[in-house]
Amino acid sequence: MTFASLGLIDPLLRTLEALDYRTPTPVQSKAIPLLLKGRDILASAQTGSGKTAAFVLPLLQRLLQEGPSVASNSLRALVLVPTRELAEQVHDSVRSYGQHLPLRSYAVYGGVSINPQMMALRKGVDVLVATPGRLLDLYRQNAVKFAQLQILVLDEADRMLDLGFARELDELFCALPKKRQTLLFSATFSDPIRQMAGELLRDPASVEVSPRNTAAKSVRQWLIPVDKKRKSELLLELIGSRGWDNLLVFAKTRKGVEQLVTELQLAGLAADSIHGDKPQPARLRALQRFKDGEVGILVATDVAARGLDIDDLPRVVNLDLPIVAEDYVHRIGRTGRAGSTGEAVSLVCADEVDQLAAIETLIGQVIERRDEPGFIPDHRVPQTAPGGQVLKKPKKPKPAKAVPGKSKVHLGSWFEEGEKPKVRAVRQMPRLGDGPGPKKKR
Ligand code: AMP
């Protein structure tokens, strides 16, 4: 199959040729013809499957072929994304795929000044990529008008709900024109997402190119059981002994991220971080430094788990397992993208066994364990089994508790009458006036 056979126009085909995209990925072959026909779609595609091009290419083509030119403060296509990084990344794709088209695009997100965004929107834009919170701010300040909106894309919709954008989204949906094309993309499908799809989409075509909630097959997954307090020591050991470089590491908390970065830097390694406490420019700078190879290790919270596209990332390490099992799929989806293979290594301590079981249920496989000599944990990580079971060790029977005030052992039915063992006094107490006391043991 070729991109031309999907119905894309020449300027887009030329761009794809220049980008060396030779054949459409499965999500592209399925979604592009439907979208060009104006259908709504509900799409589930793995991270790294080429889903951005699957919606951006037909979106650009439809904007070019249909509708009036854009009025001031207006927009014709809106792509909603959950994070600032993803907004930048999707906007980069829009710019790249639309480089030969006379269409304007822009990205808005929080954490940076709103004024330049208000100025930029004055002329109107054909494609706006936005995070929900900032878009709502702009809408309330009359900096954006939705009357011309033709196409709405919800990218990583499940993540938007996980991040608590439900209220903002509801308010935005009420403000959008009812007549429009709507595309809903989500790597994982929960019931709230299906409900949202039911409310927003008109007779949607379903595009599902991979089984639900599975991790990319191109990612080799394994874990090392380790005690919690030795995780960063183990990571340093792995980096040193295996020559790991170009590494994306996920930690649970912002504090944990910063602590690890400090330890890595003290060990002489170039590391940077991305988490929610960092101002947006610093986050983007850290990502760029990592992409450019200036730092070999990027440590992040789940802010970075979804949507980031980093070329040739060979390995993702989970210093901590994520609380939400779906985030595991997104984290490891940062590697093994666009046809290359990758590796996802998790350092798992005993406390995390329930999270591990939930992840294994979600991905439908038990993750291979590899012990690391010198790091065998004191606190054993219980074995897990298919179906998310945690196999607990049988408990040892507790010794019978002595009941205060009842020093006699009741032998109950353990012994037949007559079989009762003879209870001998361990030592005889000297009676007053008797000769020397009991012999002492030598
Ligand atoms: P995405 O899943 O949209 O984040 O895309 C993952 C990566 O695949 C990006 O680096 C794209 O540039 C690349 N890509 C998307 N479609 C194709 C294609 N048909 N051929 C080669 N690379 C592609």
Question: Looking at the domain assignment, is residue 303 inside a domain?
Answer: yes
Find the 175 Cα to ligand 1 centroid distance in Å.
32
In ligand 1, which atom is closest to the CA atom of 46?
Answer: 2
Q: Are residues 59 and 196 in the same domain?
A: yes
Nearest to 132 by CA among 105, 110, 104, 156: 110
Among 390, 408, 431, identify where a domain stops: 390
Question: Looking at the domain assignment, is residue 400 inside a domain?
Answer: no
322 lines ligand 1 (CB under 6 A): no
The CATH number for 30's domain is: 3.40.50.300
Hey, which of 27, 46, 337 would you mutate to test ligand 1's pocket, going by the most ligand atoms within 8 Å of its Cβ? Answer: 337
The token duo for 316 is: 């993702």
> Taking the C-alpha atoms of 102, 68, 27 and 274 in order, what is their torsion angle to the nearest 10 degrees?
60
**CB of 30 within 8 A of CB of 7?**
no
Among 162, 182, 208, identify where a domain stops: 208
In ligand 1, which atom is closest to the CA atom of 3?
Answer: 19
**CB of 341 within 8 A of CB of 220?**
yes
306 lines ligand 1 (CB under 6 A): no
Question: Looking at the domain assignment, is residue 441 inside a domain?
Answer: no
Helix ranges, 130-228 (H): 132-140, 157-162, 166-175, 191-200
Q: Are residues 306 and 330 in the same domain?
A: yes
pTM of this prediction? 0.61
In the block, residue with structure tokens 């639900």: 212
Question: Looking at the domain assignment, is residue 399 inside a domain?
Answer: no
Question: Looking at the domain assignment, is residue 432 inside a domain?
Answer: no
334 lines ligand 1 (CB under 6 A): no
pLDDT in tens, the chain (442 residues): 899 999 999 999 999 999 999 899 989 999 999 999 999 999 987 667 789 999 999 999 999 998 789 999 999 999 999 988 889 999 999 999 999 999 999 999 998 999 999 999 999 999 999 999 999 999 999 999 999 999 999 998 988 887 788 899 999 999 999 999 999 998 777 788 888 999 999 999 999 875 444 555 678 899 999 999 999 999 999 999 988 888 999 999 999 999 999 999 999 999 999 987 888 788 888 988 988 889 999 999 987 555 566 766 889 999 999 988 888 888 887 776 555 678 999 999 999 999 999 999 888 889 999 999 999 999 999 888 876 677 765 455 555 555 454 443 333 333 333 333 343 433 444 444 344 444 444 3
Q: Are residues 185 and 295 in the same domain?
A: no
Hey, which of 309, 311, 312 would you mutate to test ligand 1's pocket, going by the most ligand atoms within 8 Å of its Cβ? Answer: 309
> Which of the 8 DSSP states describes residue 103?
-
Helix ranges, 248-406 (H): 254-266, 280-291, 325-332, 353-363
Q: Are residues 151 and 230 in the same domain?
A: no
The token duo for 231 is: 């995780």
Question: Looking at the domain assignment, is residue 439 inside a domain?
Answer: no
Question: Looking at the domain assignment, is residue 404 inside a domain?
Answer: no
41 lies in which domain range? 4-208
SS3 content of the chain, % helix, strand, coil (to 5): 35, 15, 45
Q: Are residues 161 and 260 in the same domain?
A: no
Q: Are residues 173 and 238 in the same domain?
A: no
Q: Are residues 190 and 223 in the same domain?
A: no
C-alpha span between 156 and 154 (Å, rounded): 7
Q: Are residues 199 and 285 in the same domain?
A: no
The token duo for 311 is: 């070329």
Q: Are residues 136 and 203 in the same domain?
A: yes
Question: Looking at the domain assignment, is residue 433 inside a domain?
Answer: no
Among 374, 390, 406, identify where a domain stops: 390
48 lines ligand 1 (CB under 6 A): yes
C-alpha span between 100 and 391 (Å, rounded): 58
In ligand 1, which atom is closest to the CA atom of 24?
Answer: 19
How many domains are contained in the chain?
2
Find the 16 Cα to ligand 1 centroid distance in Å.
11
Q: Are residues 276 and 368 in the same domain?
A: yes
Q: Are residues 58 and 80 in the same domain?
A: yes
Q: Are residues 276 and 308 in the same domain?
A: yes
